[in-house]
Amino acid sequence: MKLLLGGAAAFSVVKATAAAVSGERAWNGKTLRWLGILLVLLVGCGLASYYVHQYVEPADDDQQDNSAMLLKACGQASTGRQIPHGTRTELICRHGH
């Protein structure tokens, strides 16, 4: 969707430039019309981006869950519970990264 809107915006810039050059004055009716179309398309791009960020992109809950699990595992290691040797969790708890 955003690719289509972006392509249409680029096309409207080209058409607005052509209208400005072809007329006797640069700011003529055709130029203003294409600039209006460009403005509408750019608002559409912004709304499409907003929609995707609000409703489509997955939340970072997985990363937060992994962090919580690591903190819990490192806490268990400090209480004497054994974490399997050579695992990523053991390395993270030992080195703090």
**pLDDT for 75:** 58
Upper half-sphere CA count for residue 94 (Cβ side, 13 Å): 10
**41 Cβ neighbours under 8 A, 6+ residues apart:** 5, 8, 9, 12
Q: What is the pTM of this model?
A: 0.58
> Higher-confidence residue: 9 or 93?
9
The 3-state DSSP composition of the chain as helix, strand, coil percent (nearest 5) reads: 75, 0, 25
Q: For 19-47, how does the pLDDT look when each residue is reduced to its tens digit (9 = 90+)?
A: 999 989 999 999 999 999 999 999 999 99
Radius of gyration of the chain (CA): 27
